[in-house]
Structure 1
Amino acid sequence: MFTPQAAILTVSALVTGALASSQVPPSVHLDRATFFGNASGVVTQFLGIPFALPPVGDLRLRLPLPNAPYTGVHNASAFGPACIQQLEPPLPIPAGFSPVTLQLLAGRDGGAPIVDSEDCLSINVVKPASSTDWTKLPVLVWIYGGGFENGASASFNGSVIVERSIQLGQPVVYVSMNYRWVALFPRNMVHTLGFPGGVEAQKAGIGNLGLHDQRLALRWVQKYIHAFGGDPGKVTIWGESAGAISVALQLVTNGGNTEGLFRGAFMQSGSPTGIGPVAEGQPFYDALVANVSCAAAKDTLQCLREAPLDRLRTAINASPDIFAFQSLNLAWQPRVDGAFLKDDPQTLVLQNSVAKVPLLSGDCDDEGTLFSLSTSNLTTDAEVRAYLAANYFKSVPSADIDAILAAYPNDTAQGSPFDTGTLNAVTPQFKRLAALQGDLVFQAPRRFFLQQRAGKQPVFSYLSKRFKTLPDLGSFHGSDVDVIYGPSDMTDYLIRFATHLDPNVGASADSSASFADSSASLFWPRYTTAAPQLLTFLDGAVPLNISLDTYRAEGMAELTRVSLAHPL
């Protein structure tokens, strides 16, 4: 939390140090305040700016409130703390896992430990150093993923995106924010600071606090982004995994009315998924209030607001995580609360409650491999069936489960990593579970969403097969984040989409030129129901081609039918 005295002392030291090195730090004026940031080559960063009142004390478990008008002098040279979260869990690696893959995963886990706090609702802006309050550049707003469990805006280098946009001659402003979401699992039950469940949460209108945080951050962008050289009328929201699901839910809320907050959406591995009502979280809420000695309180929500944070943190770090046995059965995900989400998101799509803005959505080929490492103890058909029935399809008729299993047989040649034959059979049922879980949570919802929206608004889709030769995991979930923050040709498509709402506009006509030398790209056709074409990202001498979104049609159709009738 900023205090005038601390801010002035910190900024005084920052300016003094900068003057000593003959460099004055860049500054921006917001309201009656001055924020000093960082200069780094052709980009300037302003980090850790609060966009809401700290959700602490009596504001814990309440809707976010806008920050008061800024005054004074502030140091915006460092990221703010992440929101309270689980310690990132180690992957449950089965015996015999490839050393090559282990080395790659270890590299992805590098970096400084995440510092978290309840006072975490801050926003970051990275802009071209040359931009001013009259340049009116397109704006990319990044929403990070992490299974609604962990993550931080500080983990992503927005300078990569802005620097590449300058190289392309299509400069953009990059924005990222923190939002509440952390899961608490007292006694293997779940509750969240960002997504509380139960009747109490529903009555108080706080069922999807993390989504409200994101919406408030988007309103901050509308109010202030012009000071950084951005155009509030040219905002594209962009996310991956839980971040992409968040983007999708921002599309379907409010009857599809964007309130002018954004004009385009870019989603990596996340779409509107089938989810149940907030009331389904009642057992989890009851377990939480009992665990923190609030069960006898007249107002259990108020009791939770006053509970010591260390008691909540202990429950977080002792809890199951996204790589636990329950895997993608995300009990801590957003739920239908009657306010932000008035119905199951897939039902909202059928009701045409979708923002009519250009959409770009895609998946990695092997979305389910990472999330199937925790089920290595499932080795028989009977065990897989029992797991699915208990974990994903609790109220689904047996005949429907049988139909799904028939469409996803225990045949390593049909499993994920796809198109690898008998290779990568980490355990007897690994490839089958990887195929099924990846399609259930990622591929089938994307296909359903795009088939419903094609013809109603501009739609583009992709499939990433990069990292395809990686043993055991293939083109795993999140591998396209490495690609787009590379930067790479995917970065160029993103920048052109944000600039023109079409990933093709502004590309070089010379498709033979390398990424390093030009913005050359393969033409990306729109996705239609008659021709559901995917731009496919590949490794090797031919990095791009066009394929059809018709693979595993029977299986995905069954998964979609079941999820519409029985939201997860």
Structure 2
Amino acid sequence: MFTTISLVAALAMPAFGVPVEHSAPVARSNPVISLDYGSFKGTSDGKTASFLGMPFAQAPFGDLRFAAPQPPVAFSGVRDATFWGAACPQQQILSFIDIDGLNITIPGTTALVENSEDCLFVNVVKPASISSGQKLPVVFWIFGGGFELGDSSGNPGNSVVERSMSLGEPIIYVSANYRLNAFGFLPGKEAKAAQAGNAGLKDQRFALQWVQKYISNFGGDPTKVTIWGESAGAISVAMQMVTNDGDPQGLFRGGFMVLFLIPSYLTNLSNKYLQESGSPLPLQDIETGQVYYDQLVADAGCSGSADTLACLRSVPFKTLKNAVDKSASIFSYQSLEIVWQPRVDGVFLKRNPQTSVAQGLYAKVPFVSGDCDDEGTLFSLFNINITTDAQFTTYIRDKYFGGSDDAAAQAAAAYTHDITTGSPYNTGVLNAVTPQFKRLAAFQGDVVFQAPRRFFMQAASQTQDTWAFLYARGKALPILGSFHVSDLSEFYGTGLLPSFIGTDALINFVNTLNPNGFHVNSLLSLVNWKKYSTSTSAPPMLKFSDPAPLVTMTTDTYRSSAMQTLIGLTRQLIP
């Protein structure tokens, strides 16, 4: 008999495929907002008003493909902003895997709306009624998806705005699309010379500039913007914190990072915000991705061109999209060695982001950052042919340590083959799909998620207010445990029995730059979430545990020796 598990993986979508909850529409109206380049008609249900699919930049066609975003084209009349704009081109990835009769489907691996290069749209969700003269704080959401897929329609934001209103701390929710895969993260020397790298990060920055210019028209306060992301979105938050030598240019005052996903970063060595699962990670020069650029050129039929970049800009959309789809994804044997990812381009990212952290060149704004307990399980399902100690060591050597036998040996010693110490953690001999699965899941979860977060927080907690969390709900889920992105519904308040603890922490932080706050109808009020800096030997962190809504204070000391080994190897191999 087959068993099926449905889950959402590495995407900015509600955990376990639970749909975002909306109140039944009442007395709908169509408010209009006028901006200096055009007017937009939104929709309101009497509680919240939404303006969806507004262009914040020109469609990146032709010569603008891979280029930095440009201001939107002015238009006359009133455009409909009652529906989502197209998603940016999505990379086709695996959406199903069968492991010994256990069928795991991964819904949400395609965008919820149509795909198009004309995709640079911004969305605003606000309280339907804002007092005259009132300026509300703003949260700017950056979706995840491994820099390969995803779009802003996955998390509409109405649940967060409605909860903020019930707490008496109303906020405005903004989200925006950004270019993905090769369309947004083209590597290679050609991309470097043309300053065509990291277009997706530039899109995010441009959307933040749009917020500064226009959010007051919606009743928002441009001086009170918090950037929030999960998975690749949380990495993006971190990248926005280290660009421009850490000067936020007034674009945000805090950060919130949830479930950040860090691309593989140790290969080819020779050559105020809220973060979820994401931190400044070690990245290499954009030219280290030359092999991926060359393969894209070949697959797009541009190998014979004297100017391969010009050819890539001129080929039909379908041709380039088909070429992108041939590349390896996060759900393949290559796993977290991500093909299309941020890289040091000398423009947006001047240096290895962890070097920026070491030099103090990061935004000095308060932030919250955390991970799920079993971050690595989902991404280790695609390496189940790794079954021996030798195969494990070879894999991490080649995929994470650039061929360094010594580094791989140190990491293998830190993460042993004892399945009772592997991930999903605290499950004993259970969930051992192969003799190496739990070991690989433990290693990948720490090297890509947990260790970089700890490295950043150890530094940043000495220069600004920081708070840490660990999400350990859902441990009973076979094979996956508290897997990557399973905490997202906690922060959107969209689970079957939402506790709103994560949502309330977010709303408090957006308002006061502190996740704590007293509300008679908030369970978070029963907890004193201490700052990370209150202890250097045992920094406190909030732990979400089963049964929900249990939360406790613990310390960020788990696997201390093993993670310190990974941090040391990272800093040694990519100074």
- TM-score, L = length of structure 2: 0.88
Alignment of 1:524 with 2:529, yes or no, is yes
Matched, 1:262 2:252: yes
Q: Which moved more, 1:547-556 or 1:438-447?
A: 547-556
Which sits farther off after the overlay, 62-71 or 205-214?
Answer: 62-71
Deviation at 1:295, TM superposition (A): 2.8
Q: Which AA in structure 1 matches 2:518?
A: A
Alignment of 1:459 onto 2:466: yes
- Residue among 513, 518, 525 paired with 1:501: 513
Q: 1:112 offset after TM fit, Å? A: 7.8
More off after superposition, 280-289 vs 325-334: 280-289
**How far 1:157 moved relative to its partner?**
2.3
Q: Which residue of the partner structure matches residue 97 of structure 2?
A: 92
Task: Please state how far the C-alpha of 1:54 moved relative to its aligned partner.
Answer: 0.5
Aligned partner letter, 2:543: T
2:453 aligned to 443, 446, 456, which one? 446
Q: Do the aligned partners of residues 521 and 219 (structure 1) sit closer, same or farther apart at CA in structure 2, a change above 3 Å counting?
A: farther
For 2:151, give the aligned amino acid: A
Deviation digits for residues 347-366 of structure 1 (CA, Å, limit 9, x no counterpart): 11101110000011000000
Q: Distance in 1 between matches of 2:492 and 2:28?
A: 29
Q: Is the 8 A contact 2:452 2:567 kept in 1?
A: yes
Indicate whether 1:422 and 2:434 are aligned: no
* 8 A Cα contact 1:395 1:566, kept in partner: no
Q: What's 2:268 paired with? A: none
Distance 1:309 1:408 in 2: 44
Distance 2:291 2:548 in 1: 54
Distance 2:541 2:137 in 1: 25
Q: For 1:159 and 1:96, how far apart are their aligned partners in 2? A: 38
Higher mean alpha-carbon deviation, 315-324 vs 121-130, is at: 315-324
* Aligned counterparts of 2:565 and 2:302: Cα–Cα separation in 1: 43
The equivalences for 1:165-564 within 5 A come to 165-182=164-181, 192-265=182-255, 266-396=274-404, 398-487=405-494, 488-504=500-516, 506-508=517-519, 515=522, 520-528=525-533, 529-540=536-547, 543-564=550-571
| Residue identity matched to 2:116 | S
Which ranges in structure 1 are unaligned for 5 or more consecutive residues? 1-20, 183-191
Q: How far 1:23 sits from its partner (Å)?
A: 5.4
Q: What CA distance in whole angstroms lies between the structure 1 residues aligned with 2:169 and 2:121?
A: 27
* Residues 171, 507 of structure 2: 8 Å contact kept: yes
> Larger C-alpha radius of gyration, 1 or 2?
1
Task: Report the more deviating stretch, 213-222 or 549-558.
Answer: 549-558
Any idea what SS the aligned residue of 2:54 has?
strand
Q: CA deviation at 1:567?
A: 4.2
1:36 aligned to which of 38, 41, 54:
41
Tell me, in whole angstroms, the C-alpha distance in 2 between the residues paired with 1:178 and 1:140: 15
Tell me, yes or no, if the aligned pair for 1:460 and 1:527 is still in contact at 8 Å: yes
- Cα pair 2:377 2:445 within 8 Å, conserved: yes
Residue by residue over 1:532-561, the C-alpha shift from the partner in whole angstroms, topping out at 9 and shown as x without a partner, is 111001121661101111111111111111
Residue 302 of structure 1 deviates from its aligned partner by 1.5
Greater shift in the superposed pair: 369-378 or 523-532: 523-532
Tell me whether 1:140 sits opposite 2:130 in the alignment. Answer: no
Task: Please report the RMSD computed on the Cα atoms of aligned residues, expressed in angstroms.
Answer: 2.0
- After superposition, what is the alpha-carbon deviation per residue over 1:185-230, rounded to whole angstroms, capped at 9, x for unaligned? xxxxxxx111111111111112111000000000000000011111
Cα deviation digits, residues 4-25 of structure 1 (max 9, x gap)? xxxxxxxxxxxxxxxxx98541
- What secondary structure, in the 3-state scheme, does the structure 2 residue paired with 1:312 have? helix
Distance 1:227 1:140 in 2: 16
CA distance change for structure 1 residues 296 and 127 in 2, over 3 Å: closer, same or farther? Answer: same
Over the matched positions of the two proteins, sequence identity in percent amounts to 50
Change (3 A) 1:301 1:424: same
SS, match of residue 543 in structure 2: strand
Q: 1:63 and 1:231 mapped to 2: Cα distance? A: 26
Quick one: structure 1 residues 112 and 356, their matched pair in 2 at CA, closer, same or farther if it must change by over 3 Å?
Answer: closer
- The SS at the match of 1:174 is strand
Separation (CA, whole Å) in 1 of partners of 2:486 and 2:415: 24
Greater mean alpha carbon deviation, residues 449-458 or residues 133-142? 133-142
Q: For the residues of structure 2 that align with 1:92 and 1:114, how far apart are their CA atoms?
A: 24
* Contact 1:133/1:230, CA 8 A, preserved across alignment: no
CA contact 1:408–1:432 (8 Å) conserved in 2: yes
* SS in structure 1 of the partner of residue 99 of structure 2: coil
Counterpart-to-counterpart distance in 2, 1:194 and 1:418: 35
Q: Distance in 2 between matches of 1:380 and 1:390?
A: 16
Number of corresponding residues: 525
Q: Secondary structure at the match of 2:97?
A: coil
Change beyond 3 A, Cα 1:355–1:335: same
CA contact (8 A) 1:132 1:227 kept: no
Q: Does 1:154 align with 2:153?
A: yes
Comparing 422-431 with 494-503, which one deviates more in the overlay? Answer: 422-431
Q: CA deviation at 1:109?
A: 4.0
Q: Using a 3 Å threshold, how does the CA distance of structure 1 residues 52 and 337 change in structure 2: closer, same or farther? A: same
Alignment of 1:100-111 (within 5 A): 102=104, 109=108
